[in-house]
């Protein structure tokens, strides 16, 4: 069963560059745009964060909340959350396949494209759905990079 997912997108996020745009219309994903005084009760939702405990099978059964913005604008989205979210990180060492170029700021080492983070989080929670990556131009490169991490994804015999 697909994990219910809420995506809160910063109002300044460019849809033309957003890796999640091809997922609009999927029944398990709700897209919201942070405008005006918008607030979200994130109680019980898993929110991906760089400096948090690593996501594990013990987190299964909780809905995901993905904050979609540039790294620079992320604190503004975090301030819109109410309640008691569950902050988790993705395993270290997994690299994005998205060719990032920023003249303003640098991304954290563990920073992934939003669709990469969504796919990886759901996979770790037992919902391995490669169709999440169907519209992602760098799909093959990202999946090849994941295959290089047998410590995170053991090969099946």
155 in a structural domain: no
Cross-strand partners of 32: 8
The number of domains in the chain is: 1
Q: What is the pTM of this model?
A: 0.86
Cross-strand partners of 7: 31, 66
Residue 68: give the domain boundaries: 5-147
Q: Is the pLDDT of residue 151 over 80?
A: no
Copy the structure tokens of residue 156.
């099946």
Cross-strand partners of 47: 65, 87
Query: For the ranges 5-14, 84-93, 96-105, 146-155, which has the lowest average pLDDT?
Result: 96-105
154 in a structural domain: no
The predicted pLDDT at position 98 comes to 67
CB 46 within 8 A of CB 81: no
**CB within 8 A of 47, min separation 6: which ones?**
65, 67, 81, 85, 86, 87, 88
Which tens digit of pLDDT belongs to each residue from 39-93?
999 999 999 988 899 999 899 999 999 998 888 888 999 999 999 999 999 998 8
Q: How far is Cα 122 from Cα 54, in angstroms, rounded to an integer?
A: 13
Q: How far is Cα 133 from Cα 114, in angstroms, rounded to an integer?
A: 11
35 in a structural domain: yes
Q: How far is Cα 64 from Cα 28, in angstroms, rounded to an integer?
A: 10
Looking at per-residue confidence, does 69 or 152 come out higher? 69
Q: How far is Cα 4 from Cα 92, in angstroms, rounded to an integer?
A: 24
54 in a structural domain: yes
153 in a structural domain: no
Q: In the chain, pLDDT over 90 holds for what percent of residues?
A: 54
Which tens digit of pLDDT belongs to each residue from 1-45?
799 999 999 888 777 678 888 899 999 999 999 998 999 999 999
Mean pLDDT over 97-106 rounds to: 56
156 in a structural domain: no
92 in a structural domain: yes
The predicted pLDDT at position 52 comes to 94
Q: What is the DSSP letter of 25?
A: T
């Amino acid at each position: 069963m697909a994990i219910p997912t809420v995506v809160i997108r910063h109002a300044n996020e460019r849809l033309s560059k957003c890796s999640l745009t091809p997922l609009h219309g999927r029944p398990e994903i709700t897209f919201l745009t942070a405008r005006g005084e918008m607030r979200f009760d994130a109680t019980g939702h898993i929110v991906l964060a760089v400096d948090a405990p690593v996501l594990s099978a013990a987190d299964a059964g909780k809905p995901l909340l993905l904050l979609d913005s540039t790294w620079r604008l992320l604190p503004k989205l975090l301030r819109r959350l109410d309640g008691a979210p569950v902050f988790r990180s993705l395993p270290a060492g997994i690299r994005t396949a998205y060719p990032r170029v920023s003249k303003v700021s640098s991304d954290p080492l563990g920073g992934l494209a939003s669709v990469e983070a969504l796919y990886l989080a759901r996979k770790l929670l037992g919902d391995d759905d490669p169709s999440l990556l169907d519209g992602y131009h760098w799909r093959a490169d990202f999946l090849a990079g994941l295959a290089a991490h047998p410590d995170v994804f053991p090969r099946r015999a």
